[in-house]
Chains A and B, each alone.
Chain A
Amino acid sequence: MPKQQANWSPYDNNGGSCVAVAGADYCVIAADTRMSTGYNILTRDYSKICKLADKCVMASSGFQADVKALQKHLAARHLIYQHQHNKQMSCPAMAQLLSNTLYYKRFFPYYSFNVLGGLDNEGKGCVFTYDAVGSYEKVGYSSQGSGSTLIMPFLDNQLKSPSPLLLPVQDAVTPLAEAEAVDLVKTVFASASERDIYTGDKLEIVVINADGIGREYMDLRKD
């Protein structure tokens, strides 16, 4: 009898796209609100964005059950940190914690593709992008999820900094103003919704700056 294969997978992909863009004194994190499975829509109104700390927000696409478990885990760890250190975790600290948490399950991963956005200790915007097992990098902008193949080249075109080998040294964070960055994100999602069937319905945009955390919504194509 030939070896039997499992015809059941512990994972599912709920689709959707996430984007984060870092500015000089702000950070924009956005994700669509469509949750799907296969060719069906489960809901048009599900948030993929989670506030982990005062100045740190995470957007994740992939398998939302794993995403939820990951968010709860990080929130619990953050509480412990606050009890021990009497302060909130900084974005770079949370970035490392997220990486370690993901790698901890290296051999049964969280099916979660994350972008972490926030302000670092000096108030500058920072974005960290991850794979499912915790490999991460600090970047000026990033996208993850089903629409990332459509979104990333466009962000590269608009935001990519010239080579670090050129002088004078340019910052990874975009010189764009906050309103321009939000506009860019809206444009990017409107385009992605045209061709990616898993991205659409509504766009949730979170902006972190010195004043705190702000949130806005924009409608996207519902087909």
Chain B
Amino acid sequence: MFRNQYDTDVTTWSPAGRLFQVEYAMEAVKQGSAAIGLRSKTHIVLGCVNKANSELSSHQKKIFKVDDHIGVAIAGLTADGRVLSRYMRNECINYSFTYESPLPVGRLVVQLADKAQVCTQRSWKRPYGVGLLVAGLDESGAHLYYNCPSGNYFEYQAFAIGSRSQAAKTYLERKFENFTDASRDDLVKDAIMAIRETLQGETLKSSVCTIAVVGVGEPFHILDQATVQQMIDAFEIVGEQEAPDAAAGQEASAEPEPEPEQGAAAGEGVAPMDI
């Protein structure tokens, strides 16, 4: 990304029809540590890589419970993520209070997207620098959404955001057709494997990653470290034997759900925020 004279203000268009401040906000998401999400018909699993600043400090919280049926994983400016989680929790509580029923996930992500859009059209505000993977269960089934700083949102079968997420996405693209009917445990396993891809060589242990699950009959909760370590140990040996099968050739093209690649290179005509 190069500096230019149209990027000072979020309310200034470039001649090519882009809002650079919004694109820079999306860059912030790509710099954050990875978060992944995948879903079946009945369960959604969120996972994230925990990066601590130093050995002395604690990990940043990147997965938040929003309600019994909704959880969110973030990548980017975690402070912005915390604030948005608080907003989401509030909306869920207010809806429950008024209607005595859980807030449908689709409604929540639209409210979140509208909130993000406001920040792209006010000169005294800045876009939120955080991408959110919203996992939720409602009457219409299991859902996984991705909310951008641009105010766009998309539904996914599986997705990954943050640094080195491309590796996880490649893994997910290979496997996603099995997810719809996968069992809960297989889904968690796939989540852990996807996280392993982003670590690229670093040892995978439960202190480095966080996994959360929500599903039918299972309120949103974060799995404790012992359980996660057990699952890692169980398949670590088996996992090594799985040769990354590039021959499968299931790259994104007429898929039932949109699974776009990372943005086209900045210099080209396509504005990344169209994704």
Which residues of A are in contact with B by a Cβ distance under 8 Å?
72, 76, 79-80, 83
- Cβ A83 vs Cβ B96 within 8 A: no
Which 9 pairs, one residue from A and one from B, show the smallest C-beta to C-beta distance? A76-B93, A83-B89, A76-B97, A79-B93, A72-B97, A80-B93, A83-B65, A80-B89, A76-B96
| In the complex, chain B residues whose CB is within 8 Å of the CB of A76 | 93-94, 96-97
Q: Which residue numbers of B lie inside 8 Å of A, CB to CB?
A: 65, 86, 89-90, 93-94, 96-97
* Closest Cβ–Cβ distance, residue A66 to chain B (whole Å): 15
Which secondary structure characterizes the binding site on chain B? helix
> Which residue of chain A lies nearest to B85 when distances are taken between CB atoms in the complex?
A83
Please measure, in the bound complex, the distance between the C-alpha atom of A192 and the C-alpha atom of B141, giving whole angstroms. 51
* A72, A80, A83, most chain B CB atoms within 10 A: A83
Which residues of B are found within 8 Å of A80, using beta-carbon distances? 89-90, 93
How many A-B residue pairs have C-beta atoms within 8 angstroms? Tell me: 13
Which A-chain residue is minimally distant from B89 (CB atoms)? A83
For this complex, 13 residue pairs linking A to B, each with C-beta atoms less than 8 Å apart, are A72-B97, A76-B93, A76-B94, A76-B96, A76-B97, A79-B89, A79-B93, A80-B89, A80-B90, A80-B93, A83-B65, A83-B86, A83-B89
How many angstroms from the CA of A79 to the CA of B94 in the assembled complex? 11
A75 to chain B, nearest CB (A): 8
* Minimum distance in angstroms from B72 CB to a CB of chain A: 12
Given the complex, which residues of A lie within 8 Å of B86, measured CB to CB? 83
A80 to B88, CA, bound (A): 11
Question: Closest residue to B90 on the A side, CB-wise?
Answer: A80
Contacts of B97 in A (CB 8 A): 72, 76
| Chain B residues in 8 Å Cβ range of A72 | 97
CA distance A83 to B89 in the complex (A): 8
**Considering only CB atoms, which chain B residue lies closest to A80 in the complex?**
B93
- Expressed in whole angstroms, the Cα–Cα distance for A76 and B98 within the complex equals 11
Per the bound structure, the CA–CA distance linking A72 and B93 in Å amounts to 10
**Residues of A contacting B65 in the complex (Cβ-Cβ under 8 angstroms):** 83
Residues of B near A83 (CB, < 8 A) are: 65, 86, 89
A84 nearest in chain B by CB position:
B86
Q: How far is the CA of A79 from the CA of B93 in the complex (A)?
A: 8
A182 to B97 alpha-carbon distance, docked (Å):
34
With contacts A80-B93, A83-B65 known, what are 9 further pairs, Cβ within 8 A?
A72-B97, A76-B93, A76-B96, A76-B97, A79-B89, A79-B93, A80-B89, A83-B86, A83-B89
Query: Considering the chains assembled together, what is the distance between the CA atoms of A83 and B96 in angstroms?
Result: 15
Give the distance to chain B from A42, nearest Cβ to Cβ, in Å: 20
Alpha-carbon distance between A17 and B42 when the two chains are bound, in angstroms: 45
Cα of A72 to Cα of B94 in the assembled complex, Å:
11
